C-alpha cells in the first residue's frame, strides 16, 4: 500500500537553523500532539500545501523516495496508508471515549448569582442557591456513581454564577462528595471557576484541604484599569489588585503547595491590545510561577449579542500570538500548542458528564443554565432523575455523528483531533466556533522553534499554504 502524508501533519512555513547546525521546519502532528523539527526534505514530503514533485520530461523525478525515512515517518503516524480514513478513525475514537469514560464529571452551580456585572456575559443572574432537597439528591447521585464500579474517579467543577456566592453550599456538598469517593475507593478532584473576588486565605485553605479543590481558574481581563472597567463589581469598585495579592499569597503559602491556578483573560476589542502591560503586572506580582498557567479566550456569544466587543476571527488569531509573546517575555507559563488529542470535546458530548444548576435542574451543556432562551433545555430535576442512571440524552450527544455526516467542516479540518469541533452549541446556532489555533497554528510552530533555540533562515516558505485544512 502506498503511503501518503497524514492529513493531521501541519508543517510550519519557516525554515530554521537549529543550534546543532541542522536546517529544520517544525511539524505538528495533531493526531498525537507531538511536534517534530524535520529536515527540509522530510518537511517537503509531509507538506500537502506544496505541489507534488513532478516527473521530468524523461520520466525521472528529482528526489528518490527514501525507504528508511518513509518507515520512520509511518512509525510515528506522519505517513499513513493511502486508503486510511483518518477522520473516521478520529471520530470513532471520540465516540468510544465519550461512551467508555471512566471518570464521572459533575459541573455544579451552587449559586445562580454573581457579584460582577460583565458586559459580555450572557447569563441572567438570580439570587438562588441549591436547596437542601436538591443538595441531598445530588449527594445521593454522586454516591451512587462512586459506588457503581463504573468509574475510577469523580471530577467536580464548581461553576456559576459565582460559585463563592454560595461558599457554604460548596463546602457542604464537597464534604459529601469527598466522603463518597473515599468510601468507594475512587479518586476525587475538583476545580473551581471563579471571578476571584471572594477568595481569601481562609477560604483557600478550606477549598484546598477540605473540598479538595486542586485547580482554581480566575478571570482577569487586563491590567488593573481595564480589568476593573470590564469586570465591574455590582456594588462598585475594582478587584484586580486584591485578586492578584490573594493568588500571590497562596503561592507563598506552605500549606497550599499543591494548589494550582489558571488565569484566563476574556479578550475583546476593549483589551486585545493590552497583553504587554497585563503580563508585566502579573509578573511583577509574582505570578510568573510554575503553578500559574495563563491563556487568552476570545469573548464569544452565549446567545447574547457580543458584536460590539468580540474580535473578528483573523484578528483574534493575531491578538492571541501577541498575548503569547507577552506571556513569554515576562516569564508567564502558558500552552503554546495542544499537548494531545481532545477526544471528548466537552461535557455536552458525553453522558458521563452533567451540569447541575442552582435550581436543581440538570443540563448537558454549561451554557444552558442561566442563559435566557436555553434554560428550558434541561433534562429533568436532580430530585426526580433515576440516581442510578446516566443523565438523559442531551442536544449534543450526537455530536460525533454530526461531524461524521459533514454537517460542519470539521471532518476535513487538519486540527480536528486537538479541537474536536470546539463547541457543538455554537455550530448549531450558526456561529462557527473555530479557535484561533486554526488560523495561527503555523505561527505558533514558529514560536515553538524559536523557543527551542532555532533561528529563522528566511521568511515563510513561499509554497506553504495559509490554512491548515
Interface ranges with ligand SF4 (CB under 6 A): 346-348, 365-367, 396, 408-410, 413, 415-416, 419, 421-425, 433-434, 438
Q: Helix (H, G, I), strand (E, B), or coil: what is residue 35?
A: strand
Q: Measured from the CB of residue 409, what is the shortest distance to ligand SF4 in angstroms? A: 5
Spacing of C-alpha 67 from chain mean position: 39
Burial class (CB in 10 A: 0-12, 13-18, 19+), 14: buried
184/379 with CB nearer ligand SF4: 379
Residue closer to ligand SF4 by CB (options 239, 440) is 440
3-state secondary structure 385-434: CCCCCCCCCCCCCCHHHHHHCCCCHHHHCCCHHHHCCCCHHHHHCCCCCC
Specify the residue, 196 or 417, whose C-beta has the smaller distance to ligand SF4: 417
The Cβ-side half-sphere exposure at 129, using a 13 Å CA radius, reads: 16
Question: Based on CB atoms, which residue is closest to ligand SF4, 56 or 376?
Answer: 376
CA distance 98 to 286: 39
How far apart are CB 371 and ligand SF4 at their closest, in Å?
A: 9
Cell triple for residue 172? 457542604
Strand partners, 263: 218, 294
Rounded to the nearest whole angstrom, what is the least distance from the CB of residue 436 to ligand SF4 in the complex? 9
CB of 162 to ligand SF4, least distance (A): 18
The rounded distance, in Å, linking the Cα atoms of 115 and 294 is 23
Beta carbon of residue 5, minimum distance to ligand SF4 (angstroms, whole number): 18
Q: Which is nearer to ligand SF4, 222 or 421 (CB)?
A: 421
> DSSP letter at 207?
I
Residue 149, judged by CB atoms within 10 A of its CB (0-12, 13-18, 19+), counts as exposed
Please report where in the chains the cell 512509525 appears, as a residue. Answer: 75
Name the residue nearer to ligand SF4 (CB basis): 243 or 422. Answer: 422
Closer to ligand SF4 by CB, 226 or 437: give it. 437
Q: How far is the CB of 278 from ligand SF4 (least distance, A)?
A: 25
Least distance to ligand SF4, CB of residue 262, Å: 16
Distance CA 407, CA 391 (A): 25
Amino acid at each position: 500500500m502506498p503511503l501518503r502524508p497524514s492529513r493531521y501533519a501541519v508543517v510550519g512555513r519557516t525554515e530554521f537553523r537549529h543550534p546543532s547546525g541542522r536546517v529544520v521546519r517544525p511539524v505538528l502532528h495533531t493526531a498525537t500532539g507531538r511536534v517534530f523539527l524535520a529536515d527540509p526534505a522530510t518537511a517537503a514530503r509531509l507538506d500537502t500545501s506544496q505541489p507534488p514533485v513532478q516527473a521530468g520530461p524523461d520520466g525521472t523525478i528529482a528526489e528518490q523516495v527514501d525507504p528508511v525515512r518513509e518507515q520512520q515517518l509511518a512509525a510515528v503516524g506522519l505517513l499513513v496508508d493511502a486508503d486510511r480514513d483518518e477522520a473516521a478513525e478520529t471520530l470513532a475514537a471520540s465516540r468510544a471515549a465519550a461512551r467508555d469514560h471512566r471518570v464521572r464529571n459533575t459541573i455544579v452551580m451552587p449559586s445562580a448569582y454573581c457579584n460582577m456585572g460583565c458586559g459580555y456575559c450572557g447569563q441572567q443572574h438570580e439570587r438562588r442557591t441549591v436547596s437542601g432537597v436538591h443538595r441531598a439528591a445530588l449527594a445521593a447521585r454522586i454516591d451512587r456513581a462512586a459506588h457503581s464500579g463504573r468509574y475510577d474517579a469523580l471530577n467536580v467543577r464548581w461553576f456559576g454564577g459565582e460559585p463563592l456566592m454560595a461558599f457554604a453550599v460548596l463546602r457542604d456538598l464537597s464534604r459529601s462528595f469527598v466522603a463518597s469517593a473515599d468510601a468507594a475507593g475512587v479518586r476525587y478532584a475538583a476545580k473551581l471557576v471563579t471571578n476571584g473576588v471572594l477568595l481569601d486565605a481562609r477560604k483557600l485553605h478550606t477549598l484546598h484541604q477540605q473540598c479538595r479543590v486542586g485547580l482554581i481558574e480566575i478571570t482577569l481581563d487586563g491590567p488593573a484599569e481595564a480589568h476593573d472597567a470590564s469586570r465591574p463589581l455590582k456594588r462598585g469598585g475594582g478587584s484586580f489588585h486584591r485578586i492578584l495579592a490573594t493568588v500571590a499569597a497562596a503561592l507563598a503559602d506552605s500549606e497550599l503547595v499543591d494548589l494550582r491556578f489558571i488565569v484566563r483573560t476574556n479578550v475583546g476589542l476593549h483589551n486585545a491590545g493590552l497583553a504587554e502591560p497585563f503580563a508585566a503586572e502579573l509578573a511583577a506580582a509574582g505570578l510568573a510561577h510554575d503553578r500559574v498557567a495563563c491563556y487568552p479566550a476570545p469573548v464569544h456569544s452565549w446567545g447574547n449579542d457580543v458584536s460590539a466587543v468580540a474580535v473578528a476571527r483573523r484578528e483574534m488569531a493575531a491578538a492571541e500570538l501577541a498575548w503569547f509573546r507577552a506571556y513569554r517575555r515576562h516569564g508567564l507559563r502558558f500552552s503554546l500548542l495542544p499537548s494531545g488529542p481532545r477526544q471528548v470535546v466537552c461535557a455536552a458530548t458525553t453522558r458521563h458528564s452533567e451540569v447541575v444548576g442552582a435550581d436543581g435542574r440538570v443540563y448537558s451543556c454549561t451554557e444552558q443554565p442561566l442563559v435566557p432562551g436555553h434554560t428550558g433545555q434541561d433534562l429533568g430535576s436532580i430530585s426526580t432523575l433515576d440516581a442510578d442512571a446516566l443523565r438523559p440524552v442531551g442536544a449534543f450527544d450526537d455530536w460525533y455523528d454530526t461531524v461524521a455526516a459533514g454537517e460542519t467542516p470539521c471532518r476535513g479540518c487538519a486540527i480536528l483531533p486537538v479541537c474536536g469541533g470546539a463547541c457543538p452549541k455554537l455550530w448549531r446556532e450558526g456561529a462557527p466556533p473555530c479557535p484561533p489555533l486554526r488560523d495561527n497554528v503555523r505561527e505558533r510552530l514558529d514560536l515553538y522553534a524559536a523557543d527551542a533555540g532555532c533561528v529563522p533562515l528566511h521568511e515563510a516558505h513561499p509554497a506553504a499554504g495559509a490554512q491548515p485544512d
